[in-house]
Chains A and B, each alone.
Chain A
Amino acid sequence: MNYPKELSYAKTHEWVKTEDGVSVIGITDYAQHALGDVVFVNLPQEGDVVTAGESFGDVESVKAVSDIISPVTGTICAVNEELADSPELLNNDPYGAWIIKVQDVSDTDELLDAAAYEALCAQEG
């Protein structure tokens, strides 16, 4: 399992990278592994407002569905449309396959660093 040091993590298994005021959000390696083969991603639209702690989309595998929770409050400025046709990118490259980018971030949930997140995943087994 991979936990890149430069990212921050939500307890609900999303990763965040903030650069130049824009938060890039995806799901973690642990999350994609727990879900299994991802078959569909329910994506939001550019311009939608997301709220920290609330779901903005979901990821489907064959026998499960999991909400994607936004770790930040703000406005979506980009959506990774490639995931619509190639949901398997979330399995193959979870940290490369970002899901949304958020700007005008006004609030952020409490996030974990890589070590703390790895400890959390170890606990959840």
Chain B
Amino acid sequence: MGHYIPSTEAQQKQMLCDIGLNDFKDLYKDVPASMYLDRKLDIPEGKSELEVQRAMASIASRNKVYKTVLRGAGSYDHYIPSIVRYIPAKEEFLTAYTPYQAELSQGVLQSIFEYQTMICMLTGMDVSNASVYDGATAAAEAAAMCRDRKRRVTLISESTHPDVINTVRTYCFGTDDELRLVPCKDGKTDKEALKQMLQGADVSGFYVQQPNFFGLFEDATELGNIVHEAGAMFIMGCNPIALAIMKTPAECGADIAVGEGQPLGLPMGYGGPYLGFMATTAKNMRKLPGRIVGQTTDSKGERCFVLSLQAREQHIRREKASSNICSNEALCALTASVYMAAMGPSGMKEVASQCMAKAHYLAAELCSIKGVKMCFDGRFFHEFLLDMPKADEILAKLDENGILGGLRTSDGILWCVTEKASKVDLDRTVSIVREVLA
């Protein structure tokens, strides 16, 4: 019964009549009769808004919202300032199409230009695109940027998020290119193995995640030097919160910086929508995929913004385009901009510092329990892998207490702490673990 058709039945009849038709069915005379669906769809009857609200709320109630989230692994529970929820919900931003008509879209175009600038500030790189789908596709697109006719092989560190590895592998499968995994040693990329694998001139690029899947900081500058010596490109996948305090990809010599933008004000949302950010050096600007906003002047000489460098894209280059992307994650990019503006430089550094401090606090407290120890000794940001007995039991007990514990992996439990967890939450977690292991 629900619908969003404003014309009344009488108006619809009038319109049909004006076209010279008697029946709606006449509109579909090109559809072969044998194909015409002559039954009703097997889906429920339509509902009023209130009924739909009840039905969806009932589905939602079957989810459990945890009071404390100590799980990351690619999706992070950061505090979202209230203004970050309100701005992207403005109907003009929400319901606009891609800003192809610059004369009607200056607000969207400027917001993307500002987003591109903030991503450059965060990463230290020269240019950013207007976003791609998520961190995993950003990695895959970056790998494609590195390939040329002669160099077709991509290397990726085994310390990368499994979804990123698998997505890059799938994109390589598409273009019939090879992906090789660089093994880890003590939870970090094995530099000697990387050197070995770079021999031969067929490697186009190497991808490393910083901090890596286990939460550890990689020796990025050194890895970059090794890659460049072999004439390949160096891609860094970075956590955007950590970037506020850690050495930037530009400072590590990266050719391309990408990452998952979800921590910048986007909810976990059972996996999406998220935001893939991509930035590179001026030299590689025209290899960036997807939309890019540029500044120019209008016929009156005033500053204005347009979608620029469009000849790279599929709607012009068709099968010769490097990527088929058109819709991206514009509203998520706007969300990230508002988040970065609300936090400001000091707030961004504060979030990063608090995440790191709290993660180290929890790690130390848990490791003081007998039988619990760190899997690796490397330096870490806000995630760490613990070898602990009775892992399933611990996680179940925390769950009962409204705490989503770390992620169970084959080696132990991967914990994550953000600024949202208070000392009280962390102490409670430690005492529950202590009880289980007592």
Contacts and interface: CB of A to CB of B under 8 A. Distances in A.
B317 interface: yes
Contact of B317 (A39, A62, A65): A65
Given A40-B311, A60-B311, A65 B286 contact: no
A81 B317 CA distance: 23
A interface: dominant SS: strand
A61 B310 CA distance: 9
A62 B306 CA distance: 11
A39 B310 CA distance: 11
A62 B286 contact: no
Contacts of A61: 311
Contacts of B104: none
Interface in A63-96: 63-65
Contacts of B317: 65
Contacts of A60: 311
A61 B308 CA distance: 11
Contacts of B320: 65
B37 interface: no
B316 interface: yes
A62 B102 CA distance: 14
A39 B316 CA distance: 14
A40 B286 CA distance: 10
B245 to A, nearest CB: 38
Interface in B267-314: 286, 309-311
A77 B28 CA distance: 62
Taking residues whose C-beta sits less than 8 angstroms from the other chain, chain A's interface range is under 10
Nearest to B318: A65
Contacts of B310: 62-63
A58 B200 CA distance: 30
Contacts of B316: 63-65
A3 to B, nearest CB: 27
B201 to A, nearest CB: 15
A39 to B, nearest CB: 7
A65 B311 CA distance: 6
Nearest to A65: B311
A115 B317 CA distance: 32
A35 to B, nearest CB: 10
A60 B316 CA distance: 10
Interface in B414-432: none
A63 B316 CA distance: 7
Interface in B376-407: none
Contacts of A42: 286
Most chain A Cβ neighbours within 10 Å, of B286, B310, B311, B320: B311
Nearest to A64: B316
A78 B316 CA distance: 29
A65 B316 CA distance: 7
Contacts of A64: 311, 316
A60 B320 CA distance: 13
A71 B310 CA distance: 28
A81 to B, nearest CB: 14
Interface in B312-345: 316-317, 320
Given A40-B311, A62-B311, 12 more contacts: A39-B311, A40-B286, A42-B286, A60-B311, A62-B310, A63-B311, A63-B316, A64-B316, A65-B311, A65-B316, A65-B317, A65-B320
Nearest 4 A/B pairs, CB to CB: A60-B311, A65-B311, A65-B317, A65-B316
18 contacts: A39-B311, A40-B286, A40-B309, A40-B311, A42-B286, A60-B311, A61-B311, A62-B310, A62-B311, A63-B310, A63-B311, A63-B316, A64-B311, A64-B316, A65-B311, A65-B316, A65-B317, A65-B320
